[in-house]
Chains A and B, each alone.
Chain A
Amino acid sequence: MKLAWQNIIHDRGRFSVTVLGVSFAVFLMVFQGSLLVGFLRAASRLIDASDSDIWITARGVQAFEFGTTLESRVREMAAGVPGVMEADRVCMAFAVYRTPNGKQQVVALVGADPNVGKRFPVPDVPELAGEISPDAVLYDVSDRDLIGVPALPTEVEINRHRASIERQIEGYGAFLGVPFLFTSYRNAIRYLGFGPDDAMYIVLRVGKGYSVSDVKQNLQGRLPEVDVLTRDEFARKSRMYWTIKTGAGGAILTAAVLGFLIGLVVVSQTIYANTMENIEEYATLKALGAPKSLVARIVLTQALLCGVVGSILGLLAVIPVINHAKSLISWIYMPWWLPVVMVLPSIAMCSLASIASVRNALTVEPGRVFRA
């Protein structure tokens, strides 16, 4: 096996090219994967941020951003269903925002009752009591340029209503170019011109001892004119809508799939070429009486070494790039499992490519050693 290692460190140029190929592939796969995962996450992050069990939406709503108002009786009826412990309201609509310097910007205004979820960004939660006013407006730090506030608090206009921007939050930046603003439910319906009992989403929490699916079924039976979905179902529906049915999502999905496939092809081709460059040495080994298993071990070891080193370098390169990209693409996200999920197939492809190329090494005619 010394030959495997020596071949690698001896031909540093070839090794560098091979490792560069694998690194590029891993970089591409992880970066594109982070775009896709970030996009999927952004498409359902407000749904995921709620602590609810069930979401009630108007019939046919595909994504959180495109809800329509529900009749006020829906909330009352839902609250009366056995097992429903709490029924809160959420609304979201596009509004016109005017910055202090007079610049106009379309924003997505989100309002929610305080108990929707601990992670749901609203100002009137007990944790923020005393720090900001209950009717404050929050924005994501990544949208600072679009929101254009020089300091906090700043008085702005939303749909010609006076509003106070008081706090920056993180993790809820614009993912389609339109910044989100968050405020209390009562404030939001005032800005949006909704009636006091109007809601776009009714968010339900099911009490202990009740089955979420049973309660959901009961609700659907009593409220046939609306859609009743578990939180995960609505999150999935929203993600599917943005990923499959919109051009932006489709492009990201396609780029991620292509990135994955191109990465695998690059890895395979690189490893294959590396093996083929040493084919004469494998013929000599076979002529000298090396068993096929030894030749296979050498090829596989070289491929795995290239795969592991290339993957590590690829990850070392992509992590800072993704962190830097967050300033431009706020929703890009690399979960801890993504590098693993991308590196494993890369190394597997290194192995597969080496197995494909090892066939050439194993079937190489040892008699070619007599050709000068």
Chain B
Amino acid sequence: MRKNHLMNGVIEDAGERTSNAAALNLRRRAANSAALAAVEQLEPRLLVDELKSSRFLGVESASVTFGKDGARVFALRDVSLAFERSTLSLVMGPSGSGKTTLLSLLGCLLSPDEGSVFVDDVAVNRLAETEKTAIRQKKIGFVFQAFRLFHSLSAIDNVALGFELRDPKQPQRLEMARHLLNQFGLGDKCNQEPNELSPGERQRVAVARALAGNPPILLADEPTASLDAQAGRNICQILRNQVDEHGKTVVVVSHDPRWREFADRTITLSDGQVEQEERNL
């Protein structure tokens, strides 16, 4: 009962915050959409150029293959995508379409065979492994389908580890982790271990860990796939709020159609290529 009450409280709270944020978002989306339409009418090439020039986060002519010789398969084929600051982008597509490969590229976890990957205006595919590690550490937060929490650490220690990784000398990481968990309605679950939490709570802890240290980019791989409808919606709302209230850039890979209403843009991949790209109004 207590858990349900808490969960409802979080959702209500999130919902209340969202009504303001959503209004802002809608206005911004409309403005963006109108501006884009106007630009496209004036000069259709300009949109592509604008995207190419935006190197905050994206890939350019990126190809990734797996396997060798005859067994070689293209996971991504000559894909160019730019993700604007302070937007939530949804990447969809059937299994094997290259969604996770794209996320791995953006997260500096994989290098393309051809093409470039940009994170915060830096071509990361040219960097050494230690430099990529530093970029992941400072600029990118990850949310995984399987949560990937450290099972031996309590919720607060998991989040504190996020702070520690970004700033090993941060003396107040426990207080900051507690604050973050409080924000996500997990104030009374700080000392519980992941296996004592519900899937929705675990994912909120994972989001808190991803946000620890305030990275500008959040990459989420099927973050609602293991959650029930209510918990999933809660996570959608939390990530949306991060865009609207904190200016984060969020890329979500998901099969879950619920994300469409929270995303600024939906990209559909198929066979390693961009099949469709739409801006949500």
Contact = CB atoms under 8 A, between A and B. Distances in A.
B59 to A, nearest CB: 15
Contacts of B225: 372
A3 interface: yes
| Interface bracket on B | 20 to 34
B151 interface: yes
Contacts of B82: none
B153 A2 contact: yes
B260 interface: no
A289 B144 contact: no
30 contacts: A2-B161, A6-B150, A6-B152, A6-B157, A7-B150, A9-B152, A10-B151, A281-B150, A281-B151, A284-B144, A284-B148, A284-B150, A287-B142, A288-B137, A288-B162, A289-B133, A289-B134, A289-B135, A289-B138, A291-B130, A292-B133, A294-B165, A366-B109, A367-B110, A369-B109, A369-B144, A370-B144, A370-B221, A372-B146, A372-B226
A288 B193 CA distance: 19
B166 interface: yes
B91 interface: no
A367 B111 CA distance: 11
A233 B136 CA distance: 66
A290 interface: yes
Interface string B102-114: 0110010110000
B104 A367 contact: yes
Interface in B209-229: 209, 221-222, 225-226
Contacts of A291: 130, 133, 137
A11 interface: yes
Of the candidates A10, A289, A292, A369, the one having the most CB atoms from chain B within 10 angstroms of its own CB is: A289
Contacts of A372: 145-146, 222, 225-226
B164 to A, nearest CB: 9
B140 interface: yes
Nearest to B103: A370
B157 A369 contact: no
Given A2-B157, A289-B136, A289-B165, A7 B152 contact: yes
Given A289-B134, A369-B144, 6 more contacts: A285-B165, A289-B136, A290-B133, A367-B109, A370-B221, A372-B226
A10 B152 contact: yes
A29 to B, nearest CB: 31
B25 interface: no
Interface string A342-372: 0000000000000000000000011101101
Contacts of A3: 150, 152-153, 161
A16 to B, nearest CB: 15
Contacts of B241: none
A369 B222 contact: no
Contacts of B221: 370
Contacts of A369: 109, 142, 144, 148
B189 to A, nearest CB: 17
Interface in B151-188: 151-153, 157, 161-162, 165-166
B100 interface: yes
A281 B221 CA distance: 17
Interface string A280-314: 11001111111110100000000000000000000
A292 to B, nearest CB: 8
Nearest to A291: B133
B136 A287 contact: yes
Contact of A6 (B110, B138, B144, B153): B153
Contacts of B134: 289
Contacts of A292: 130, 133
A88 B166 CA distance: 79
Contacts of A289: 133-138, 140, 165-166
